[in-house]
Amino acid sequence: MIFPLAPFHFVILGLLHVAVGLWFVNPWLALVPVGLFPIINFLAALPPGSRYYLPVITRGRPGETGVALTFDDGPDPRLTPHVLDLLDRHGVKATFFVTGAKAQAHPHLVKDLLKRGHARGNHSWSHSPFLMLKGRKALKREVEDTQALLKDLGATPLVFRPPVGITNPHLWRVLLEAGMICVNFSCRAGDMGNRRTQNLAARLLDKVRPRDIVLLHDAMPEKAEAAPLLREFEALLQGLQARNLPVKPLATLLGREVMRSESARAAEIFYDHLAPDYDHEQFCTPVSVARRKEVALFEARLSELFQGRKRVLEIGAGTGIFTLPIARKLAEEGGEVVAVDLSGRMLSLLERKSQEAGLTNLRLRQGAIETMELEGTFDGVCAFSSLEYVTNLPGLLQRLAAQVEPGGIVYFIGARRSLFRFFTQVGNAVRQGLWLRARSRREYETMLKAAGFEPVSISSHLLKCVISGGMLLEVVARKGEVSR
């Protein structure tokens, strides 16, 4: 399901087409795009804000008025404790991108910065400046070994900063598999790892702006003294205060968590970040074309399918676009809805909405439906554009069949495999790094029958034409009297 696409992949495809075209004109000319390819790759990877290989965050979300301080390359017993004391005196919280090797050598410092309320990020194991020249296996080992160590020391980072801020084609897949995002920086003083610290504060204050992620270091070169550097850090904090630029935790600046006690899935991280703006995106952007059609189909079926139901399971409830109307319908006869979603933030918004609506018949469950243990039976199961994330849908339907009562309904609206849908799948792979699975009518029929559900109707909708049979499938099925 992890299928990360980036501008890098489209450059490959474009140059390949150019090379093939030039081959028929003059075979020697075909070497020109081949020669340009490594040059483009090298130059595109150098800027710390480059999104050539993967999405990279370098600034806070729009509207933020503060800045975030980040410290790289530590922990260092000669400097990190003094930095922590300085931050405590100013009441400032920072994010420390630590290396695995130094964290293993000084675990007490890693625990201490967490205890003092600071966040930790993953900065690779060895901090090799040539790490991005290595293969995927080496990169994966550097990231995952550091993750495992930091998890044992108290919390799992959700953010990774590559050494020197340079990325490569393998990094996005590695980060997705580890449940992480890439966070670089937008403001730095060129301190060369604290080898050039004179007037460091002045250089930063000349360029710092709201929403900046500021790069500093808490590692000391050999024979260097900490006192002059600490004075520069002090001057920087005082200067930011004088400029009315509050120092905020990185999580606050980004509007998303940067670490947690357990590892997270790529889809969970994506939707946690999207949650505050999810409803706006669903109804006030081009995405609304598909979502509004789903809502219209659902509203036409609401009374027919959910009247008299006692317990309904919704997979991928999100912020409750469909959950709340179902809950209102079931509340009329004392029924309840069990709403499942990967994103805790989405469920928090749903909980708030349900409280405002006075609904008390919602049960919220966070986690992956494929592995979650569900209690009791259901007389209805529904999902709206969420089964695309399920890697083993036949297996899930088999599991659900054991918990759906005879005569219970299954109601899905999801992606139909088609030409137009393919392009939206490509777009999603660029955006989320995940290939969301679209399915055909026949696939749904086969899976449902194998699980013991009898298809009632499967209909196509949205952008139906000669070359495309539609982008959405509406599926209604019913559980037979005897499960197969």
Query: Which residues are the active-site residues?
Result: 72, 217
Q: Please count the CA atoms within 13 angstroms of the CA of 269 that sit on its side-chain side.
A: 26
SS3 478: strand
Contacts of 403 (CB under 8 A, 6+ apart): 374, 376, 377, 378
- For 190-253, what is the HEC assignment? CCCCCCCCCCHHHHHHHHCCCCEEEEEECCCCCCCCHHHHHHHHHHHHHHHHHCCCCECCHHHH
**Which of 33-41's residues contact partners 24+ apart within 8 Å by CB, and which partners?**
37/11, 37/12, 40/11, 41/8, 41/169
Contacts of 283 (CB under 8 A, 6+ apart): 291, 292
The rounded distance, in Å, linking the Cα atoms of 289 and 286 is 6
The runs of H, that is alpha helices, within 72-120 are 80-90, 100-105, 107-115
Burial (0-12, 13-18, 19+ Cβ within 10 Å), 339: buried
Q: What single-letter DSSP state applies at residue 275?
A: G
Which tokens hold the place of 258? Answer: 């940067």
SS3 464: strand
Which tokens hold the place of 206? Answer: 């000349």
The rounded distance, in Å, linking the Cα atoms of 161 and 374 is 38
**Considering just the CA atoms, what is the radius of gyration of the chain in Å?**
26
User: For residue 292, which of 279, 273, 307 has the smallest C-alpha distance?
Assistant: 279
Which tokens hold the place of 292? Answer: 């509004």
- Which H or E run contains 271? helix 266-274
Q: Please count the CA atoms within 13 angstroms of the CA of 315 that sit on its side-chain side.
A: 27
**Paired sense of beta strands 472-479 and 453-461, if any:** antiparallel
Which tokens hold the place of 28? Answer: 């020697």
Going from the C-alpha of 96 to that of each of 56, 125, 272, the distances in angstroms are: 18, 14, 22
Instruction: Say which residue the tokens 């090298």 belong to.
Output: 42
CB atoms within 10 A of CB 126: 18
